[in-house]
Amino acid sequence: MQSAVRSMNLAHHPYWSRLWIVQEVMFAVNLVVRFGSLREDWSTFTTMIKARGANTSPALKVIKHKEQFYDGNPKFHQNFLLYSLMSEFRHSQARIIHDKVYAPNGLATQETRVQVDYTISELCLALRVLETITSRTNSGITDASMDRKKAIAFLIRALELNQRDASRLKRLDTER
Burial 63-72 (b: 16+ CB within 10 A, else e): bebbeebbee
Whether pLDDT at 78 is above 90: no
Residue-wise pLDDT tens digits, 95-151: 999 999 999 998 888 888 999 999 999 999 999 999 988 885 544 444 544 688 889
- Confidence at 152, pLDDT banded by 50, 70, 90: very high
